[in-house]
Amino acid sequence: MAKVNDELQVPAALLAGLAELGLEARAQAGATAATGRAEVTVSRAAAAQRFDMLWGRGLRVSDLAGVPRGDLPRFVFTDYVPDTTGAAFRRAGVQYLDEAGNAWISFSSVLVDVRGRRRIGSTVRSMPRGNLFSPGSAQVVFALLAWPVLWRATRREVAHVAGVSLGKAHDALATLEGGGFGPDAMRRPDEDLLELWAAAYPAGLGRSLLLGTFHGSAEQVRPIDRTDRLYISGEVAADSLLRPATLDVYVAELKPRLALVNRWRTDGTPNIVVRRSFWREPPDTRGPGGGGPVPAPWPLVYADLLASTDPRVRAAAREWKDRHAQSLWRP
């Protein structure tokens, strides 16, 4: 049976849900139902793990970016976790449980993985939050991750590089600063922000950018003419780490002749994804002019690799991040 200190308050549904899974919980001093956050120890027999537990109705990966990160692994309890949200939580390494019984909990000898249960009525209160990883806001986060010098740029410059309105850039930066990210925050790699952004990318910003899917050779891509700029991402961009089987391409617009030139087909299992390149590289970071295939900014390559269900590609994603993450140190 789940346990909790009498003087502390965490949602009763959380305790009941853990109890159904054979787990016990004990909150540390300071937890109240109103905060939506507490340090909670989850245990089963001799196996135990302390978590930074967050609860609230409708919680998603994007909501975690506005909550300062502690030293403990994160655990989310919410009313319902759809399949796409559960996949994003798992990519971000965030454990979860919902009121329907869907769960992903892994520590020591404990492994719980329950999916596909239907939504039920909720008793969890809403938790105030901003939608930091909606497509427009996610573009701002991407720009800051790709070019950390933008942390000290004007909002107008950030908006220009991210391809969003000035108002959207202002709102996203304000939400980031509220979560402890900003030009005056402690100098450290923003790896937590990267992980959350990359986990939310496939079902959020990535989906909004989709222009088309095709089947064909993933080893290379040819532009229609030399003036066309193509950004290569995913497995092909990381071909030093694995043999590419898929291709991710970013273009300003999808011209019909691009598929013809590269002999891509619309039949067969898609292994080529074409998305819109929304960003504008800062003037002092641009590579050689002209067109042709060039690598996409490294955080985007990481997100495309991490979205794969292939273990070899996900392993390559981690190695890719390790190679590049030092650039996240703020100037």
Closest CA to 205 of 307, 136, 277, 159: 136
32 falls within a domain: yes
pTM of the model: 0.69
Which pLDDT score, from 0 to 100, does residue 123 have?
58
Question: Do 181 and 259 have their domain in common?
Answer: no
Using H for helix, E for strand and C for coil, what is the string for 233-251? EHHHHCCCCCCCCCEEEEE
Residues 151 and 50 in one domain: no
Do 76 and 151 lie in one domain? The reply is: no
66 with 92, same domain: the answer is yes
Domain final residue, candidates 114, 145, 174? 114
Q: Both 40 and 87 in a single domain?
A: yes
Instruction: Say yes or no: 69 and 176 in one domain.
Output: no
Whether residue 1 lies inside any domain: the answer is no
Report pLDDT for 291. Answer: 63
The token duo for 261 is 């030139």
Residue 251 and residue 294 share a domain? yes
How many structural domains does the chain have? 3
Q: Would residue 54 count as lying in a domain?
A: yes
Residue 59: inside a domain? yes
Domain check: are 242 and 179 in the same one? no
pLDDT tens, N- to C-terminus, the chain (331 residues): 344 333 346 787 888 889 889 998 888 755 444 458 888 999 998 899 999 999 888 888 888 876 777 789 999 999 899 888 999 999 889 999 998 899 999 999 999 999 988 887 655 555 445 567 888 889 999 999 999 899 989 999 999 999 999 998 988 888 887 777 776 654 444 677 888 899 889 988 999 999 999 999 988 888 888 778 899 999 999 988 999 999 999 999 999 899 999 999 999 899 999 999 999 998 776 555 556 789 999 999 999 999 998 999 999 999 999 888 876 655 5
Residues 72 and 36 occupy one common structural domain? yes
Question: Could you give the 3-state DSSP secondary structure of residue 97?
Answer: strand
CA distance linking residue 3 with residue 10, whole number of Å: 11
Whether 82 and 139 share a structural domain: no
With respect to residue 71, please indicate whether it lies within any of the assigned structural domains. yes
The residue from 114, 146, 169 where one domain ends is 114
Q: Following DSSP, what letter does each residue of 34-62 receive, concatenated?
A: TTSEEEEEEEETTEEEEEEEEE-BT--HH
From 198, 213, 242, the end of a domain falls on 198
Q: What is the C-alpha separation between 158 and 93, in angstroms, rounded?
A: 29
126 located within any domain: no
Within-domain flag for 2: no
Quote the pLDDT of residue 1.
Answer: 34
Task: Look at residue 128 and tell me if it is in a domain.
Answer: no
Q: Are residues 45 and 151 in the same domain?
A: no
Query: Do both 146 and 210 map to the same domain?
Result: no
Q: Could you list the residue range(s) of the whole structural domain that residue 185 is in?
A: 135-198
Q: What does the pLDDT read at residue 127?
A: 47
Check residue 25 and report its DSSP letter.
E
